[in-house]
């Protein structure tokens, strides 16, 4: 694939992923070996080109989203930063069941007036790192449930639905005593 101002699609995507994860723009341009105006032009050009790339092949959207799941690729692979890689994040959430446990706790807790951010923080994540995990399992889910035209499709769908149902039921039971009427002070 081409490069713009010496920046490949992979390096641009990794730069965007690292920026989203909290790396400063100054650190990004240092890694890329660019001056700020060149970075701004490069970023703008790649942003414009992304639509064309996705029109050519929708897999490019998946590739791009992957840079937000794991921004430690290309020139950023060995850069020391406070941006965690997906491997270290998956140590906390090693499988889809563990992901669904937190996902549904966050969802059900919010229905009972509990801040969903507090749930991800209790599990050792912040908004960015939880988003990285979410993107990882979203990609995993779509790959795992890819239609093959066999009975396996149905089995996998039911398997994953059962996991979601298990945690929905668990957290509904757990929070049932914490029911909150968030509209009780509103008069109509």
In this structure, what are the phi and psi dihedrals at residue 24, rounded to the nearest 5 degrees? -75, 155
Q: Could you tell me if 25 and 94 lie in one domain? A: no
Q: Could you tell me if 98 and 39 lie in one domain? A: no
**Model pTM greater than 0.75?**
no
Q: Could you tell me if 36 and 115 lie in one domain? A: no
In a domain, 50, yes or no: yes
Q: Could you tell me if 31 and 102 lie in one domain? A: no
Read off the pLDDT of residues 98-143 as tens digits, 9 standing for 90 and up.
999 999 999 999 998 899 999 999 999 988 789 889 988 988 998 8
State which of 36, 62, 83 marks the end of a domain.
83
Q: Could you tell me if 72 and 92 lie in one domain? A: no
Dihedral (Cα; 47, 53, 58, 61), 10-degree rounding: -30
Q: What CA–CA distance (Å, rounded) separates 89 from 130?
A: 9
In a domain, 188, yes or no: no
In a domain, 19, yes or no: yes
pLDDT exceeds cutoff 70 at 1: no
Mean pLDDT, rounded, for 18-37: 92
Whether the CB-CB separation of 20 and 54 falls below 8 Å is answered with no
Q: Could you tell me if 163 and 103 lie in one domain? A: yes
Range of the domain at 159: 88-178
Q: Could you tell me if 129 and 112 lie in one domain? A: yes
Q: Could you tell me if 62 and 123 lie in one domain? A: no
Neighbours of 169 (CB within 10 A): 12
Cβ-in-10-Å burial (0-12, 13-18, 19+) of 38 comes to middle
State which of 83, 101, 136 marks the end of a domain.
83
User: How does residue 71 score in pLDDT terms, banded at 50, 70 and 90?
Assistant: confident
Cβ-in-10-Å burial (0-12, 13-18, 19+) of 12 comes to buried
Say how many domains are in the chain.
2
Of 97, 129, 102, the closest CA to residue 116 belongs to 102
Q: What CA–CA distance (Å, rounded) separates 76 from 83?
A: 10
Q: Could you tell me if 63 and 117 lie in one domain? A: no
In a domain, 120, yes or no: yes
DSSP reduced 3-state for 188: coil
Read off the pLDDT of residues 136-167 as tens digits, 9 standing for 90 and up.
898 899 889 888 888 888 899 999 999 999 99
Q: Could you tell me if 96 and 78 lie in one domain? A: no
In this structure, what are the phi and psi dihedrals at residue 71, rounded to the nearest 5 degrees? -80, 5
In a domain, 23, yes or no: yes
Read off the pLDDT of residues 2-27 as tens digits, 9 standing for 90 and up.
899 999 999 999 999 889 878 899 99
């Amino acid at each position: 694939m081409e490069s713009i101002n010496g920046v490949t699609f992979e390096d641009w995507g990794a730069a965007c992923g690292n920026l989203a994860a909290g790396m400063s723009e100054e650190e990004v341009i240092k890694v890329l070996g660019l001056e700020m105006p060149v970075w701004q032009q490069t970023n703008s050009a790649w942003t414009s080109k992304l639509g064309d790339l996705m029109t050519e092949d929708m897999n490019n959207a998946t590739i791009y989203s992957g840079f937000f799941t794991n921004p430690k690729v290309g020139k950023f692979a060995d850069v020391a930063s406070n941006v965690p890689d997906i491997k270290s994040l998956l140590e906390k959430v090693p499988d889809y069941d563990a992901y669904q446990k937190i996902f549904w706790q966050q969802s059900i807790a919010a229905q009972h007036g509990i801040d969903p951010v507090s749930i991800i923080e209790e599990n050792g994540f912040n908004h960015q790192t939880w988003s990285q995990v979410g993107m990882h399992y979203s990609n995993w889910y779509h790959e795992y449930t890819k239609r093959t035209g066999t009975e396996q499709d149905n089995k996998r769908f039911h398997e994953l639905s059962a996991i979601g149902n298990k945690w929905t039921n668990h957290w509904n039971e757990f929070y049932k005593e914490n029911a909150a009427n968030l509209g009780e002070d509103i008069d109509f």
